[in-house]
Amino acid sequence: MKVDLQLCNPKIPGGCGVGGVADLNGKPSRDIIAMSLEACVRLEHRGGHIADTGDGCGVLLQVCRPFFEQFLPRRLIPDPDSPLVVGTFFFPPGEQTNARGLQPEIDRFFRRCGLKPLMWRKVPIQYKVLGASANQSRPEIWHALLSQGIVPKERLPLVLFQVKNSIEREFRKIYTASLSADTIVYKALATSIQFAELYPDLLDPSMESALCLFHRRYSTNTFSSWELAQVFRYLAQNGEINSIKANRLPLLTFKVNSA
């Protein structure tokens, strides 16, 4: 058996940089996040940009429960055996007229679905590191903290998935980057170098994770936007579906000849 390992075809440009860091024993640590941010910076050559605005960058990591519990009043902290759900929401620009006005409506929606909203947290962001275009289109980014309410724990992932989809249908201008008790997404219309300084949460010593997936986007057939940066919410993937030819040729590089 012979395998042709020609992994580089100069006629098809590379795109996107993606990777992950994980602790094999499942132990959360600060180092996992720090190594992921550094690795993503080293993949900057895989991403695209227009002037000083990158095509997008982001990470998916575990919900660090001790970090988020510090923002909750003691009476609202769920029991240790109960999940703490964290959602990342992109609201249209204009905090006073959009985010704060829509949050009570979303809270009512959560309650109708059996969830218990605990609080909204404005995500701290160092906007000064962003490019001009990214700053002009930047959304208002908030975290929603919830408990499972009356939803059984075994049904919680499915209910959260359904709630995420329903919110985006009912509130057309809102984008849900993540909504889970297990993982959370931080992302931005930025280069990896800008992203590494953008979110103070990711630089906080108390923020820990046992895994971190990172992505630096190279936009090929869509315009860059905050929503399209870091294109995974539950699964990681690299690249876009551009054409039949572009998908066939990588498979043809692995030609297996058997006698």
Quickly tell me which residue has 């227009």 as its tokens: 50
Q: Which pLDDT score, from 0 to 100, does residue 211 have?
A: 93
Does the active-site annotation cover 212? Answer: no
pLDDT range class, residue 151, cuts 50, 70, 90: very high
Calculate the CA dihedral of residues 150, 152, 158, 160 and round it to 10 degrees. 30
Q: Which pLDDT score, from 0 to 100, does residue 53 have?
A: 75
pLDDT tens for each residue of 243-253: 566 667 767 77
pLDDT tens for each residue of 52-76: 777 788 899 999 999 999 999 999 9
Residue 80 neighbours by CB distance under 10 Å: 7
* CATH T-level assignment (fold) for domain 16-238: Glutamine Phosphoribosylpyrophosphate, subunit 1, domain 1 (3.60.20)
H or E stretch at 141: strand 140-147
- Residue 24 is given by DSSP the state T
Q: Which pLDDT score, from 0 to 100, does residue 255 have?
A: 56
Q: Which pLDDT score, from 0 to 100, does residue 221 have?
A: 63
Q: Which pLDDT score, from 0 to 100, does residue 192 have?
A: 83
Q: Which residue has the higher pLDDT, 259 or 67?
A: 67
pLDDT range class, residue 3, cuts 50, 70, 90: very low
Instruction: Look at residue 154 and tell me whether its pLDDT is greater than 80.
Output: yes
Q: Which pLDDT score, from 0 to 100, does residue 235 have?
A: 58
- How far is C-alpha 84 from the chain's CA centre? 18
Tokens of 223: 């315009």
- Count Cα neighbours of 207 within 13 Å in the Cβ-side half-sphere: 17
- Beta strand pairing call for 175-180 and 17-22: unpaired
pLDDT tens for each residue of 104-143: 999 999 999 999 999 999 999 999 988 888 778 889 999 9
Which of 38-52, 128-142, 179-193 is predicted least confidently? 38-52
Catalytic-role residue among 8, 16, 40, 57:
16
Instruction: Look at residue 178 and tell me whether its pLDDT is greater than 80.
Output: yes
